[in-house]
A and B are shown apart, each in its own frame.
Chain A
């Protein structure tokens, strides 16, 4: 700068053009940026849509080529060609007549109708408006003049320009003419349909042939999709459900979700975002137009500005998208009352762990532990009804008094007396209700089970030295056990063990059992069905079910005499428990009242106060109806199951009375009574927090303790993260905390595996205050409710350990090596798919109550006596049996109550025919089915026909005979025994001569024969077969 410049006033002389230019340019740039941001930056979905359109079009083009070649193949099949040729021939034949009709309609009638329509409408609307004027006008003279106008209008002649020239017409003529033409047109069109009928039918047949053979979208569908893709516009695609106030815009990016063409990520250039919904079946049940996306999946349905925000993974969105491993979590909010929800495997696993592993013993969860809850509510109802009844009777007394009062008028007295009668009748209704509730209450006592074994029996059942070792670390002693590991120090272990030992009840001494045969016991253990629940072997050798304990080291802990009793009847109790007196009754209590010391399912009343007693062990373990000898064999086998090198330290301190009180505190503190029956602690409350709505607990109320910041930085400061860390290590939030022992977290370690943790996390994550209104909850008013209720019982008793209850399920028997052998395949317990359609519900009720189907001969299975495995006696309560029967009926959509189908009686000739067929070479029914002949039955693999009548339903029996493999793949019963002939089924093999000329259905005949089967008939049959 020169001196002269310096002397100039910068305010006046300095140029601002450079900064002005610079900042103006920046302003323009920032505006451009702003516009870009507005259009694309905060609208990333636009680029998704553009990309989708490109990828989809490319995919469709490729798919179409393949599809066209594929369809060409089908089209070249002779059958298609025949249909196509026939269609074309029929079309050709019908064409002249059809086109003549078309010509008449299109060239003659339609122009005429169109030409007449307008003038007719004009006049009619004029008349209409005048009529309205008449109706609203007040003066009669005006009305008359209007009427006159209408008459004039109707008489006026209009010149109507028709295609064949002008014609003068009055209104009535126009009306009639128009009607005539329209009728004529309709008649002609109807005629055209008739002319084309044959061709249309053939075309439908041809198209059906094609569509039946195309698994994917057809070429036509693809073309249609391509056409709509050509008009693809980039816009927000949203589902708006008005009454729920739900707006989900997920499909603005996830464009392939509901496409008719199934899109895989691979097909869309690896972009998973465009894939179709993987479960179309699910979408059919939960139509997105009604349910939206976020109620199930979570996430922020409205947000579109970024993937993170749309998926709700930003800090302040409270309902983030469920991760893949927890995808079923969304089901829980509406399906909260279920233990099994179809198509929600992960969630079901989580619920099952929550139930089976005893989480619910410490944590209340609405709907779990239903029996105890129901018991409370039933007892409360009984009390209320009692009160109500007393109130009504008192009222009736007062009224009676008043009626008898001489000052009451006759009319009033009459009225009062009738009211008194009404009240009495109504109170008798209450009696009926109370009776039902009393019965329910009694059966609920039977239904209540504990997660763990009763600790009242320890003194008889266990070796003393084993207790402290077990308490120290149950998982070290028995891998995978339900019992979790508590963080106990040695003093606590001693105290707890001493308390448990000393609180055990002392019954009459167990009878000394003579030793059994372990070899036979092993065989029985492996074939009677024990392994459906119990496993045997450690580590990789482990086999069997996980429902109950692993018994590999049973011999180290158990007392043989007790074990025999347990195996023989696990429900047998040493002393009955009276919940009213809150004590275990002894023989003295019975003696005092001069009653014999007998308590079982027939003797359940307390001698002291008449209340319902707990007369059974609270275990779901059933009785296998073994003989005493068999029980001794099994127990002897179990006693051999031990590690050779295991040593146990002396534990005489267990008898130290000083330790008992200390132990009681600890047992209370750790909530042992949640899972175990412990003398004196039967009424303990749950010690954990309620988890029913844990998934929507504010994140601030989840105590991450000192790990809060770590969680935030590592991105697991979420419900999911909290649950996962807590489940993997229940003491994790004590890390670094300075706490006294009694203030530390109590939850023990369940040693859950990663998939188990995922399952429980799914369950908890889904346990939320529902975001949808209550009418979305799954509470079906029909049979489906029976299915919900039934699953609880099925799960409770592990029916699925032996039986296939639903499709896509395996049983423990499918995994046992012995049952892989083809000879043993038919030894598996029967599948129960379709059980409701198969069996008579009354029979099922009887069978569930007593699977031996005999009061005397209990050492057998009632139906399949050839099976080594055996349906055990569960001592179900009436309520449970009712639920199970209704469950199976509902699964097969059977009408309730059951009314047996009436079958036409057999004629003598038919009976002879059927008998001949039964014994013929072509139908060796009696080769596999049991006959009651012990020699034959050893080799039998199917039930006896004599039970069919009571057990089965005729409709099912016929369907079964026609195609058993369809219902039960792999069954020994052969398929294809019958073939279709006209409208009846005839036997496929050679038929006896008597069948010649028999016009009726053969399968039907056999069903009727079986349902009118008698033992006599069986003898005759057997004699026939012996020939």
Chain B
């Protein structure tokens, strides 16, 4: 265990937010879900007791009979926000006093640093470059992420869950978010920051970042594993495998969506266009962990090799 190395990595001013992220993101995910579950219980109570529901529309826990249904923004909300603003200001003040901007030496065009890392918020993208063609990871996927985020309001057919925390009423959305943001995006940033060392090699926390390290890894294209040599053969084979994945993933996602009666209701409210759009984005999102696993477990470089792009 190389504690010196570990400390060097976590104490770098650039990496401090990521270390915080490691604790803060799970905490707030848990905290939000706790409130959501409490609210869900209240909603259940209200649904079971129509009389109560009539007098009390407030769906937020804690809740007691006799409490006002609504409270004023001023002072009840703003004073909390004011307190939050003070706390954040204090944290930022202390942070800016104690940690300086991580300036390094003047850039030298003939000498790239190793590892050379993007700013932390781009580390997810940089990590994707390991698994995909630069064209895919650098251009196609980021565009799809942005477009996908823009599309969300248009394909969200679920009218519930506005203005209060709830899990039960937005189970599918929340799970998708947790998977897409926390599991994929945040964890890739964490990997990029804390685990990727010299030569972009995988160093478990606590091991020494050794510039001389050599590892033996041979990645192969899937068609090569199957002994397919011709160019056309490779294209056809790759297209078939990717097509197969699309079909299988679509079926899987459809099964998941239509699993509960509630979701089936939402599904019924969706138009074909909305549903297909959602499917396409979900399938592509799912492709990321699939490709990561295929690379890490089976050392597969590309699945679909064409002269124009690789997947």
Contact = CB atoms under 8 A, between A and B. Distances in A.
A599 to B, nearest CB: 51
A24 B86 contact: yes
A41 B96 CA distance: 13
B76 A12 contact: yes
Contact of B105 (A30, A33, A41, A318): A318
Nearest to B8: A712
Interface string B60-90: 0010101110010000100110110011011
Top 7 nearest A-B pairs (CB, nearest first) are A30-B93, A9-B67, A316-B105, A316-B104, A23-B86, A26-B90, A698-B111
B218 interface: no
A706 interface: yes
Given A7-B64, A708-B210, 13 more contacts: A12-B71, A16-B80, A23-B90, A24-B86, A27-B89, A30-B93, A31-B93, A34-B96, A34-B97, A316-B104, A706-B212, A708-B211, A709-B4
Given A700-B111, A708-B211, A34 B93 contact: yes
Contacts of A7: 64, 66
Nearest to B112: A700
Nearest to A24: B86
B103 interface: yes
Contacts of B208: 709
A406 interface: no
Contacts of A11: 71, 76
Contacts of B212: 705-706, 708
A19 B108 contact: no
B111 A37 contact: no
Contacts of A709: 2, 4-5, 208, 210
B94 interface: yes
B260 interface: no
B62 A10 contact: yes
Contacts of B66: 7
Contacts of A20: 79, 82-83, 86
A19 B83 contact: yes
Contacts of B87: 23
Contacts of B93: 27, 30-31, 33-34
Interface string B232-256: 0000000000000000000000000
Interface string A15-39: 0100110011011001101100100
A317 interface: yes
Dominant SS at the A interface?
Answer: helix
Given A10-B62, A26-B90, A698-B111, A16 B79 contact: yes
Contacts of A33: 93-94, 97
B52 to A, nearest CB: 16
A27 B86 contact: yes
B25 to A, nearest CB: 23
A713 interface: yes
Nearest to A713: B4
B83 A27 contact: no
A23 B83 contact: yes
11 contacts: A11-B76, A12-B71, A16-B80, A20-B83, A23-B90, A26-B90, A30-B97, A33-B93, A34-B93, A316-B103, A709-B210
A16 B87 CA distance: 13
A344 B97 CA distance: 43
Interface string B214-232: 0000000000000000000
B90 A27 contact: yes
A892 to B, nearest CB: 46
Interface residues of B, number: 33
Nearest to B110: A698
A10 B106 CA distance: 55
Nearest to A26: B90
Contacts of A31: 93
A318 B96 CA distance: 26
Nearest to A698: B111
Contacts of B90: 23, 26-27, 30
A32 to B, nearest CB: 10
Interface string A311-323: 0000011100000
A708 B208 CA distance: 11
A708 B212 CA distance: 9
Interface in A361-378: none
B114 interface: yes
B160 to A, nearest CB: 23
Contacts of B111: 698, 700-701
B114 to A, nearest CB: 7
Interface in A416-453: none
A709 B213 CA distance: 12
Contacts of B76: 11-12
Given A30-B90, A34-B93, A698 B103 contact: no
A337 to B, nearest CB: 27
A7 to B, nearest CB: 6
Contacts of A318: 105-106
A739 to B, nearest CB: 12
Contacts of B96: 34
A376 B120 CA distance: 55
B94 A30 contact: yes
A629 B114 CA distance: 70
Nearest to A37: B97
B71 A700 contact: no
A9 B104 CA distance: 53
A10 B67 CA distance: 10
A240 B232 CA distance: 68
A225 B67 CA distance: 79
A329 B90 CA distance: 47
Nearest to B63: A9
Interface in A975-1021: none
Interface in B37-56: none
A9 B70 CA distance: 11
Contacts of A16: 79-80, 83
Interface in A585-608: none
B64 A317 contact: no
Given A9-B68, A19-B83, A698 B108 contact: yes
Interface string B125-151: 000000000000000000000000000
Nearest to A706: B212
A317 B67 contact: no
A883 B87 CA distance: 78
Interface string A53-73: 000000000000000000000
* Chain B CB within 10 Å, residue with most, of A27, A317, A318: A27
Nearest to B103: A316
Nearest to B77: A11
A20 B82 CA distance: 9
A27 B76 CA distance: 22
Nearest to B114: A700
Contacts of A701: 111
Contacts of A26: 86, 90
B62 to A, nearest CB: 7
A16 B89 CA distance: 18
Given A19-B83, A27-B86, A12 B105 contact: no
Contacts of B89: 27, 30
Contacts of A12: 67-68, 71, 76
Nearest to B113: A700
Contacts of B62: 10
A317 B114 CA distance: 17
A668 B97 CA distance: 60
* Chain A CB within 10 Å, residue with most, of B67, B68, B80: B67
Interface in B181-195: none
Interface string A499-539: 00000000000000000000000000000000000000000
A37 B98 CA distance: 9
Contacts of A706: 212
Contacts of A700: 111, 114
B282 to A, nearest CB: 38
A27 B97 CA distance: 13
Contacts of B68: 9, 12
